[in-house]
Structure 1
Amino acid sequence: MSRHDSAALKPSTPAWPPKASGVPLVGALPGLLLERFDFLEAARQRLGDVFTLNLGFTDAIILCHPRHAQRVLVDEASKYRKGGHIWESIRTFLGNGLPVSEGEFWKRQRRMIQPAFHHQRLVALTGKMGEVIDESLAGWEQAARMGAPFNIDEGVSRMTMNVMVRAMFGSGLEAADAERVGHELAYIIDYMLWGMMLQGLPDWVPVPGRARYREAIRFVDAVVSRIIERGRRSPEDESLLSLLLHAVDTESGDRMTPAQLRDEVVSLFVAGYDTTAVGLAWAFHLLTRHPESFRRMRTEVDAVLGERVPGFAELRQLTYTRNVLQESLRLYSPAYWVPRASAEEDAFDGYRIPAGRMVLVFTHLIHHHPDIWEEPRRFDPDRFTPERSEGRHKQAWMPFGAGQRLCIGKEFSLMEGQLILARVAQRYEVSAVAGREAQVHIGTSLRAKEGVWVHLKAREPGAAPSRG
């Protein structure tokens, strides 16, 4: 049997996945830090779709093909758990929220939260999202008038935070709180990767940044606690928080405890804010490097909307705009890996995977696999037309995960991303800043190191055709 066959071999298969190059004590970490994804793509090309990576604190099995994602996250998901240092580090912030919980508890929480993301709820949220986006865009006017370089990474981060706060909590945060929450969340999310490597150390061992991390969590918790309490006093509010406060499990009749509610609110807030902001920053980076794609997107937006704010139904007509977002998430997926721990012995492509091993379904490598994607590093939104998508493996594109653990907020995030791209295209010409090429920063999510810098130029009044 070829090692590229899709079916797993018997668990007694003796072969062990080949190991990527590394150095004593810290393994492949220097290569990752210096070469980033080039290091991993070279390892995949040299070693195949299954290989071992020494991360210093542990060895991880790297899986690079959609068929592996299908097995780990869908077909045999019960064999792969959210255990090990990675998930222990994430739980220090998210507690037992939906992204990290498992088993019957996860099923109960999912049942209670799912109605908040039903189709009709998303339709109702479209108008509120549009209002918040327009309010946030007002803060971009000065940069457009002055012609000064503008960090659109920070711009969309503030915008997505405002959208998430209004959608989840029903009202905005005080400006000072919102600013600090953004800074604290950025620190928390970046620290988690460092925390994964140091998770096994006892509390008495001094760890750089640990005290700062805990202080950041305390601040975010205090803000969330105030907002939840405010939500309890507004029973008629239509926010996501109100739905969670009044959610009752259909099978047990239980409601969430205060601790469970805190974990779910924080988890939804972080997922809805950070992932969307990171993905949009990279989308604008790509559009400024491919101005013909920006012009095509703007032409579509003008034809469908004119100068009007898009509604939910009109988003479905912005097909190229959605394709731009999907292609950006392929090239720069914020969640660039999906970690699991093998609960029992298994095998992939002729290689044995013992129980208790860390397994990383590497989204970035799947999204850049040359057997799946022609010229995988090229920005080509038309990859996602129905004609070119036909026959593609279901897990070839998986920025929101896969299987029953598919991110509950996937459609919310894509809808928000389309709205923001459309409103920016209606208002501005966006171009690259010479000498300020965005660089990848591999943290807990795939941020742009030092931001994404652009020039904004306001479009002439009436440049977009009116549609009534």
Structure 2
Amino acid sequence: MKGARAVARDWNLMNVPFRIATGPRGLPLIGVIRDVRKDTLGWLMRTALEHGPVAQYRFGPGRAYLVTHPEGLKHVLQDHVKNYTKDHFSYALFRRIGGDGLITSQGETWLKQRRLAQPAFHRARISAMAEQMVRAAAELAEHWSESQRSGTPRPVVRDMMALTLRIVGEALFGTDVRAEVEAVSAAFNVLSEQTVERFRSLRLLPPVLPTAYDRAFRQAGATLRDVVGRVIAERRKHLEDRGDLLSMFMLARDEETGEQMDDAHLQAEVLTMMLAGHETTATALAWTWVLLEQNPEPERKLHEELDAVLGGRLPTADDVPRLVYTRRVLDESLRLYPPVYVLSRKVVEDDTVYGYQIRGGASLDMSPYVTQRLPEFWPEPERFEPDRFTPEQIAARPRYAYFPFLGGPRQCIGSNFALMEGTLILATLAQRYRPRMVAGYTPRPEPLITLRPADELPSLITPRERSTTA
């Protein structure tokens, strides 16, 4: 008997106008909510493998679809993008954290914001930030050295979060936020956990009740706004063009009215970039340390490249194109554990996606975690193999078989920044150290706003020797 995917491949689209997607039945009133809450990642994988490239189900009272085939993703994210909007309750929840910034805005507002921010992410500007990235990573290496000597485990997730938050603060906003790291991290953890819990339980009312739960959400949001407010206020005192993202936002004027951004709008943009710009890269790096420990041969190849290219010195922006295998390690980590593991859109009008009927008004879900593990595009999908990302392998796959930074006009504006940052951090730290998880700890994914390892990845810092062939 053929599986759902084989049926979908054999079906001739010329015979009928569309197919009706199948999917898990769920329960009355709540649909699949209970199953999603119990095992989000497992439910997503089972639904895709059992019901094919487009699945249909009920999430609460509403209709929803899961699209996993690259051609269907191309239709939604690129070819027919205006029919799939961010008027979705998941983004309404996120706006409670970051306001209406670049991630959540739409239409003309989004287009203005994107055009305004784009120059800050040009390759030349990003390359100029490399020195800041490496300097921050080298300082963390010294802290790791102290932990290595004392035998004290490091919370690697927390280390990566603090490192990338520092880099985002310095590189994009010209601000030293090291004193704020603990407060920002604690506040974001509360908001991330509650946002996901509220989404999975359809708890959509604003957090205005006098309960401990709602008070914790409000307090965490106030903490983040206070931090960002201080950053903006300090820069207002000495307003000048420093060439960073915050300067561009603060000095920009509306072409029609001549007005500048007010502090509320600035706060939304800075908060969005600060959170999205550090959490995703930190999560990807944390999983990279896990995968390297679990896969000695790729780790050995990584070390050989670092020794051959760098010879013990710190990396620079000019080294990034030469760190080919290092980048492949990062790409493969992003394949197996994409920080943005699922995203949603609101369907505006009836449509046909990869030959399947899609109803207007429904929700549409996409999952890089699922698509990037489909056996038809990724042989032995659970295996960590960085050489999947040779130019030949990349050219042989559909474009949207791999989309950790999404795609189309809403592709992540900071993808090049994140990839260079991740490559330089990995090169700086992996030259000297091999983090090893403490005995008894088993890494497991924790699907919050991002897909981070649970329990902060407690690890012992062990030194490594340069290869004798370097």
Using the size of structure 1 for normalisation, the TM-score is: 0.92
Alpha-carbon contact 1:113-1:244 (below 8 Å) kept: yes
Deviates more, 1:325-334 or 1:342-351: 342-351
Alpha-carbon contact 2:88-2:344 (below 8 Å) kept: no
Aligned: 1:188 with 2:187: no
For 1:59-458, what aligned pairs fall within 5 Å after superposition? Answer: 59-173=63-177, 175=179, 177-196=180-199, 197-201=201-205, 209-234=213-238, 235-248=240-253, 254-458=259-463
- Counterpart CA distance in 2 for 1:20 and 1:308 is 54
One-letter amino acid of the structure 2 residue matched with residue 433 of structure 1: V
- Counterpart CA distance in 2 for 1:381 and 1:282 is 14
Rate the CA distance shift 1:144–1:58 in 2: closer, same or farther, 3 A: farther
- Give the Å deviation of 1:12: 7.3
- Give the Å deviation of 1:362: 1.7
1:387-434 deviation line (CA, Å, top 9, x unaligned): 221221111111111001000000111111111110111111333433
Unaligned runs of 5+ in 1: none
- Give the Å deviation of 1:317: 0.5
1:57-94 deviation line (CA, Å, top 9, x unaligned): 64421111111110001000011110121111111122
- Give the Å deviation of 1:10: 11
- Counterpart CA distance in 1 for 2:218 and 2:17 is 44
1:240-269 deviation line (CA, Å, top 9, x unaligned): 322322234568755323222111111111
- Counterpart CA distance in 2 for 1:45 and 1:222 is 45
Alpha-carbon contact 1:331-1:368 (below 8 Å) kept: yes
Unaligned runs of 5+ in 2: 1-5
One-letter amino acid of the structure 1 residue matched with residue 411 of structure 2: L
- Give the Å deviation of 1:381: 0.4
- Counterpart CA distance in 1 for 2:107 and 2:453 is 35
**Number of equivalences:** 463
Alpha-carbon contact 2:342-2:366 (below 8 Å) kept: yes
Alpha-carbon contact 1:145-1:457 (below 8 Å) kept: no
How high is the sequence identity, in percent, across the aligned residues? 33
- Counterpart CA distance in 2 for 1:340 and 1:79 is 9
Alpha-carbon contact 2:351-2:357 (below 8 Å) kept: yes
Rate the CA distance shift 1:389–1:236 in 2: closer, same or farther, 3 A: closer
1:357-411 deviation line (CA, Å, top 9, x unaligned): 1001222111111111111111110000112212211111111110010000001
One-letter amino acid of the structure 1 residue matched with residue 298 of structure 2: S
- Give the Å deviation of 1:204: 6.2
- Give the Å deviation of 1:20: 1.2
Rate the CA distance shift 1:12–1:256 in 2: closer, same or farther, 3 A: farther
Alpha-carbon contact 1:81-1:340 (below 8 Å) kept: yes
Which residue pairs with 2:3 in the alignment? Answer: none
SS of 1:316's partner is helix
Rate the CA distance shift 1:102–1:403 in 2: closer, same or farther, 3 A: same
Which residue pairs with 2:53 in the alignment? Answer: 49
Alpha-carbon contact 2:173-2:244 (below 8 Å) kept: yes
- Counterpart CA distance in 2 for 1:455 and 1:118 is 38
Rate the CA distance shift 1:274–1:255 in 2: closer, same or farther, 3 A: same
One-letter amino acid of the structure 2 residue matched with residue 360 of structure 1: D
SS of 1:270's partner is helix
- Counterpart CA distance in 2 for 1:87 and 1:455 is 38
- Give the Å deviation of 1:190: 2.3
- Counterpart CA distance in 2 for 1:252 and 1:120 is 31
Alpha-carbon contact 1:193-1:444 (below 8 Å) kept: yes
Deviates more, 1:238-247 or 1:76-85: 238-247
SS of 2:461's partner is strand
Deviates more, 1:281-290 or 1:242-251: 242-251
Alpha-carbon contact 1:2-1:349 (below 8 Å) kept: no
- Give the Å deviation of 1:11: 11
- Counterpart CA distance in 2 for 1:158 and 1:7 is 52
Alpha-carbon contact 2:8-2:53 (below 8 Å) kept: no
SS of 1:408's partner is coil
- Counterpart CA distance in 2 for 1:97 and 1:11 is 42
